[in-house]
Amino acid sequence: MKAFHVELLESCRGLLAEDGMNALTDVCALLKSEAPRYDWVGFYWMNDADQHLELGAYAGAPTDHVRIPYGKGICGQVAVSGTLLNVDDVASSDNYLACSLETKSELVVPIQSNDRLVGQLDIDSHTLRAFTDDDVHFCILLCDLVARVWEPAAQ
Ligand code: SME
């Protein structure tokens, strides 16, 4: 990872150390304002009882997708598989939920706490193929930090 992502990760680490789950709105805002091509940044949390994801903290335009059934869209697929998806061109995906017509690519990174899938970081971009290997690496490390402060009641 280059200095940019290392520094951004350190800023997120500081916010999370200070405020735990309450820092997530600031983390989203920081990523959206600092990272190039991050146009919408949000966290979704698993609700296994109701088999859907629930939107938590986010930065960017309000979305209709505040609840996403497991299996639906990019986020729903990650909820089922637990595997990161980096979609270069959302138009090529046949299982995609449009938040904004401007969105061209999307990165969804699972969050695991004690070997349990608890949520995911979702980033949308107005740019095709927006997310580099460094972005992916950065987001995996960020999700590890979030997992350490994750607590169910604070979603
Ligand atoms: N595009 C996502 C839905 C969530 S919005 O991007 C905020 C999907 O296909 O699951």
From the CB of 55, is ligand 1 less than 6 Å away?
A: no
pLDDT for 76 beyond 90: yes
CA distance 28 to 12: 9
Q: Where are the domains of the chain?
A: 3-154
Reply yes or no on whether the pLDDT at 143 is more than 70.
Answer: yes
Q: What digits encode the pLDDT tens for the residues 22-37? A: 999 999 999 999 999 9
Give the residue-averaged pLDDT of 7-13.
98
Residue range 101-111, pLDDT digits in tens: 999 999 999 99
Per-residue pLDDT tens over the stretch 119-141: 999 999 999 999 999 999 999 99
Residues ≥6 apart with Cβ < 8 Å to 84: 78, 107, 108, 109, 110, 136, 140
CATH architecture of 3-154: 2-Layer Sandwich (3.30)
HEC per residue, 51-93: CEEEEEEEECCCCCCCEEECCCHHHHHHHHHCCCEEECCHHHC
Q: Which of 17-21, 109-113, 151-155 has the lowest mean pLDDT?
A: 151-155
Question: Residue 67 C-alpha to ligand 1 middle, in angstroms?
Answer: 10
In angstroms, the CA 45 to CA 91 distance is: 25
Indicate the top mutation candidate among 44, 55, 65 to test ligand 1's pocket, ranked by most ligand atoms within 8 A of CB. Answer: 65
